[in-house]
Amino acid sequence: MAILYHSTNNQDENVGFRQALLNGIASNYGLYMMHRRDMQKLHQHEIDDMRNMTYAQIAFRVLNPYVSPDIQEGTFMEILQDAYDERIIPVDLERVTGKTHILWLSRGPTYSFKDFAARFFGRVLNHFLRESGLRRTVIVATSGDTGGAVADALLGLDSVSNVVFFPKDAISDHQRKQMTTLGHNIYAFSVNGDFDVCQEIAKNLLGDRSFAEECFGDPDRFTSANSISLGRLLPQTVYPFYAYSRLALKASDFIVSIPSGNFGDMMGTVLAKEMGLPIERIICGVNENREYPDFLLTGKYAVKPSKWSPSTAMIVSHPSNLARLIEFYGGHMFDRRNEKTNRITDAGVIDRMPDLEEMRRDIYSVSVSNEMHYETIRRVYRSYGIILDPHGAVGWKALEEFSGTAHASPAVVYETADPGKFPEDIQKAIGILPEIPEGMRRQESKQERVFEISTTSSIDSTGAKRMSGAQYTEVREKIRDLFHTR
């Protein structure tokens, strides 16, 4: 029986995978989610068989029930083999010390774990558009790595254009150039605000069917490749299955420690555990934007102004996927909006509490200070000769906070970005500059194309930045100028 996806804000909407991917955002500004009761369960022997499979084969075994019958099995396997060609996007599990391992997800085309989900999304989207003769404009907000990964995956596709919003002065030069030097069908917008403002702009565009009709003659023209997209969430369930297969365990529990920003990689791991993967505990490491660990501790969720951190891709004070996580554990979260303007007036409202005790049993979350980013990078380098990037450092330190210096079960830390993306931070931590990956070196001298959203954000009652009406007006004007004659 096909799995259907509903809106977290509207249980009456139920669609198949194809429609959920093309829509991007669900009705009432919700996110598409499957019912927990409908998820496939893998037997232990099926999981053990994965030790002899490639990444693409594991992805097929994990994901096929969630895309069927909208993609035929043979076609889906071809898509995955193309997306996860290990000559282009290698992945490796490295034992570092004792029972601690690093899952290197940072060696793909844009040197970020986002490549895995972006390549899946881009190829599946292209498949559906080619079948139907449709066109889509993919809207993305990025705090650093998502924009480059999605842009690389969508570059040159005839049926797709990509509009990506990034916070001005809040990402590294290398991250910015991965979006702004591509040209063609990739349009990068610099926003006067933080990631949460960029994300709010993206969500408003995705729900603005009248503007899509005005600009493109198609109210369904916009779709998303952010973590809010089902096409970005589902492939992130594969990481822990692959890690477990390379640990070569038999029915033994293991620990997964995840540096978390918008919570896509963490939510994917929660889904993997539900599917039967023997995960003892999921560790959710965040930077100084500590809304989620505070919620786990107190049961109260309060969005505060975002704080800068060396782990720039994780400067997220209100993670989109938290709405999915809250629903998974039986609750409901939504963003209250102005009825006339649809702008968010109160973010992260919980009107039905999740089962906090179950959530606490499954997930441990801790905030890692900015200074501890550098100290962890320094200590791991001196002890093991391994250079972690600031995000991987959060995952490593979070594991230490959970288990101390030793843990009885094997543990896997996700390393999510190449340290060469953050040369200043690495030099500050260990006194040397990391090697810049070849693809990033090639982009350094290329001309940039940037569209600026120069109007300022508004400030809400908590002091957090929010998208202003002037910003959204400017966004619409510039998109109209770019596309309405195309």
Does 64 reside within a domain? no
CATH number of the domain at 415, please.
3.40.50.1100
pLDDT band at 405 (very low <50, low <70, confident <90, very high): low
Does 9 reside within a domain? no
Instruction: Indicate if the pLDDT at residue 294 is higher than 70.
Output: yes
Is 410 exposed, middle or buried (CB count within 10 Å of its CB: 0-12, 13-18, 19+)? Answer: buried
Question: Which DSSP category does 160 fall into?
Answer: E
Question: How many domains does the chain fold into?
Answer: 1
* pLDDT at 79 (0 to 100): 96
Does 295 reside within a domain? yes
Please check whether residue 170 is in contact with residue 135, taking contact to mean a CB–CB distance below 8 angstroms.
Answer: no
Does 72 reside within a domain? no
**Phi/psi of residue 182, each to 5°?**
-85, -40
Query: pLDDT tens digit string along 378-392?
Result: 999 999 999 999 999
321 vs 332: CA distance, rounded Å: 12
b/e string for 271-280 if b means 16 or more Cβ within 10 A?
A: bbbbbbbebb
Tell me the range of 59-73, 332-346, 450-464 where mean pLDDT is highest.
59-73
Of 170-174, 301-305, 332-336, which gets the smallest average pLDDT?
170-174
Instruction: Indicate if the pLDDT at residue 486 is higher than 50.
Output: no
Q: Quote the pTM value.
A: 0.88
Does 303 reside within a domain? yes
Does 171 reside within a domain? no
Enclosing domain of residue 423:
91-103+234-322+352-438
- Cα dihedral 102, 312, 442, 120 sign: positive
Does 474 reside within a domain? no
CA distances from 107 to 39, 126, 226, 308, 421 (A): 30, 24, 20, 26, 12
97 vs 413: CA distance, rounded Å: 12
For the segment 385-408, the average pLDDT, to the nearest whole number, is 92
Please check whether residue 385 is in contact with residue 276, taking contact to mean a CB–CB distance below 8 angstroms.
Answer: no
Of 11-20, 221-230, 379-388, which gets the smallest average pLDDT?
221-230
**Phi/psi of residue 275, each to 5°?**
-80, -5
178 vs 186: CA distance, rounded Å: 11
Does 306 reside within a domain? yes
- Beta strands 344-352; 136-141: pairing state: unpaired
